[in-house]
Each structure stands twice: as C-alpha cells, then as structure tokens.
Amino acid sequence: MTITDSFTLAYKNVSGNKLRSGITIAIIAFGIMALIGIITAIQAMNQSLRESFSLMGANAFVIKYKESRISFGRGESVKKTARGAKTKISNLDKTIRREDAVYFKNTYHYPSLVSVYMRGPGNVECYYGNKKTNPVVTVWGGDENYLMVNGFTLQAGRNLNSLDVQSGRNVCILGSNVASKLFGDHIETALDHIIKVGGIPYRVIGVLKSKGSSGLLRQDDIVVTSYNSARRLANASPSYFIGVKVDNVAMLDPAIGEATAQFRGIRKLLPTDADNFSIEKSDKFAELFITFLSSITAAAAAIGMITLIGAAIGLMNIMLVSVNERTREVGLIKAIGGKSKNVRQQFLFESMIISLLGALFGIILGVLVGNIFSIFLKTGFVVPWIWVSIGIIICSLVGFAAGLYPAIKAARLNPIVALRYE
C-alpha cells in the first residue's frame, strides 16, 4: 500500500462525510478568516497612514512650538537632566513668531530647502459664482518653498513668489478637490479667477496636482496663500512652522542636530535648559499609529489561535469517532497486508486535508474581508503573504496534532479484533 493509496483513501473518506467534514472545515476557516482578515485590514491601514502622514517625504522635518496633540500645560515645567537634577523650563507654550521663523530661514546654512508657513482656518467654504465647496477646506499660509518642502506639485499656473509673500496680497493656489468642485473637469480655467475663501476674495494663481487623499487626511482639500495673507484671517494659528527638506535621508539627522542648535539660540535657551520646541520627522505620526496597530495585530493573532485551538479539539474528536466507525475497515486493511504505518498515514492525511481546506477557505475569505478596508481607505489590494504562510503552517500543525493520537490509536488496532468489531 503506497502513500498515494493512503492519500486517495483519506480524500474519499473526507469527501464521503460532507456534513462532518464541512462543519470542521468551517470552524477552521472562521479562525483563519479572523486572523487574516484583521491582519489584511491593518496592513491596508498601515499603507494609508504612511501615505497620509508622510506629507514631506522621508527626508524632511518640521519645527513646531510643541509636539502635536500633546499638551504641555501652562506655566513652568521641569525636566530631569542626565545627573538627576531638575532644570526649570519656562514658556513651554511659547509660540514661534514670524520674525524668529524668518530669521531661522535666512541663517540656516545646512544644505536644504527651508519653508516658513502657518495653518490658517480650517473647515471653511470656498465660493465661485453659484458653486461652493463643502466646509472641509483648510487654508495654509506659506512661502515660495512651501509646495516643494511639503511635497506638492503644480498642475497649472505658478507658485507663490517673494513679492506675494512680502506684500501679503490675496492670491491663492487651490488643491485639486477645491478646483474640481468650483471649476469642474477643466481646472486650468480657474487661473486668474476670483474666488471667495471664507468670504474673502482671492485671485487664483495656481492649481495643485492631486496627492491622492486616502480617507485619513484631506490633502487635496486645501487652499494655499502666503503666510502674511493667512495670518490676517480669523482663527489662524498664532504659531508658525518651519519645514526643512534635505536632499536625502542620510543628511536628515545632521540637519536636525544643526537646526536644534540654531533654534535654541533663537529661543535664547541656556545650555542647562531643555528644548522648549519640538522637531518632528514627517513620518512620526505614521510610526506612532503603526506601533499602536501592532497591539491589534497581537489581539488578532490571539483570537485566531483561540479559534484554532477549539477547531483542533473538534477535529480530534471527529477523527476519534472516525476510528471507532471504521474499526472493521482498519482490520481489513491490515488483513490484506497493510501495515500500521499505512493506517497511520491514512488518518493523518484525513486530518491534514480537513485542516488545510479550512486554511484555504479562511485565507480567501480573510483577504476579501480585509480588503474592504482597502477600498474604503483607497489603497491598493493587500495580501499579507507572510501571515498567509503562517496561517498555512499553523493549520498544518493543527491538522497533524489533532490527527496524531487518533492515527496512532487506529494503527495499534489488532486486525483480528478489528474484523470482529460490530
């Protein structure tokens, strides 16, 4: 009796007990679907987060007056030094003034591109004639380097120039969504037209290419003007940002070190004072969120493993029942020359077939369910190949472990006793 014969008999027994096999396959499939589905969704979210938050690329950083979404409180704070002493740090909420930002830009000599910009009002409406946008547009005030430092590209028109910035005249560059909403498919017709941004007239001088808003950030729902124009708008941020872009990633850390030293001087900090400003790489938020999502990955793995343990117990019970039902068959196989290893192989093959069929259906369902998030987040089709491989290996081990004891029990049957079994 060859291995092929054992496998053929095993497959016939599995297909002959459709209901029993189907229920066990379904249990395994749901466990793998939970695991692969959540992992696929998380990978789609990771991809979307990287696309959303890496606005300036991996070779850029921004200087802010405090870390994003972190409140330092009011008044004085303290920070321990290397020796354990405490150094008072005042003005942790001290905003970055325009004069300081411009001075940094003019005196920072590290090979890089530097931009001074600020956030204007958010959730504003833009009007042109009888058309208007939804109240989701954010106004940004920048300089002539703002687009390049932040990774934007012009599709039509021109960039801001130094005269626009110095005079603060009401000219603007539209994000692709804003231009499409107000001017339809022919967005180049927006040039030199007057639109109203939050009720204030602006002349359109350019239109940006789409950055492919991913559902987590609205990168195309923006209006860019000069910071001298944006600072006159209501609800504009009181603090300025300084964006720095170097030529390659290898230059990033030295550039941050030099920027830190120079800006400490601008902030008039003593050598014993800690920084009262924040320097953030462009992908900081993506890394923070991805770290958070790793805990969800662990939870998904735990859910899948718990389900698979239950499936393994069920599969073992089914195989033990199968041994009892086919005792005479085992006796017949041994009586015609079959060896114990042939019987063992047959039952192990049955267990493995059921387990791997569950893995196959579970992986297909998990990838399809997980990619629902890809559609929502507008990312590409995601297949977590590593976890697919892990799922197959786990199911193989589950099938082997669940079928091992029943297979050994069947192989040890006495052929004479087995033939007389009713």
Query: Can you give the pLDDT at residue 267?
Result: 92
What distances in angstroms separate CA 209 from CA 106, 131, 152, 222, 332, one per listed residue? 29, 21, 7, 12, 75
CA dihedral for 143, 148, 151, 153, sign (positive or negative)? positive
3-state secondary structure the chain: CCHHHHHHHHHHHHHHCHHHHHHHHHHHHHHHHHHHHHHHHHHHHHHHHHHHHCCCCCCEEEEECCCCCCCCCCCCEEEECCCCCEEEECCCCCCCCHHHHHHHHHHCCCCCEEEEEEECCCCECEEECCEECCCCEEEEEECCCHHHHCCCCEEEECCCCHHHHHHCCCEEEECHHHHHHHHCCCHHHHCCCEEEECCEEEEEEEEECCCCCCCCCCCCCEEEEEHHHHCCCCCCCCCCEEEEECCCHHHHHHHHHHHHHHHHHHCCCCCCCCCCCEEEECCHHHHHHHHHHHHHHHHHHHHHHHHHHHHHHHHHHHHHHHHHHCHHHHHHHHHCCCCHHHHHHHHHHHHHHHHHHHHHHHHHHHHHHHHHHHHHHCCCCCCCHHHHHHHHHHHHHHHHHHHHHHHHHHHCCCHHHHHCCC
Query: Can you give the pLDDT at residue 76?
Result: 39
Q: Cβ(347)–Cβ(11) under 8 Å?
A: no
Please give the model's pTM, rounded to 2 decimal places: 0.59
Q: Cβ(219)–Cβ(213) under 8 Å?
A: yes
Q: Other C-beta atoms within 10 Å of 274: how many?
A: 16
Query: Can you give the pLDDT at residue 53?
Result: 55
Q: Cβ(244)–Cβ(232) under 8 Å?
A: no
389 CB-near residues (< 8 Å, 6+ apart): none
Residue showing tokens 């793998």: 32
- The Cβ-side half-sphere exposure at 196, using a 13 Å CA radius, reads 11
Query: Can you give the pLDDT at residue 82?
Result: 43
Query: Can you give the pLDDT at residue 81?
Result: 41
pLDDT tens digits in sequence order for the chain, 422 residues long: 577 766 777 777 777 777 877 887 888 888 788 778 888 887 777 776 666 555 556 688 999 998 765 333 333 344 444 444 444 444 556 899 999 999 999 999 999 999 999 999 999 999 999 999 999 999 999 999 999 998 899 999 999 999 999 999 999 999 999 999 999 888 889 999 999 998 899 999 999 998 865 445 678 899 999 999 999 998 899 999 999 999 887 888 899 999 999 999 999 999 888 888 999 886 665 566 666 667 777 777 777 777 777 777 777 777 777 776 666 666 666 666 667 777 777 778 888 888 888 888 888 988 888 888 777 766 678 788 887 888 888 888 878 887 777 777 777 766 665 555 55
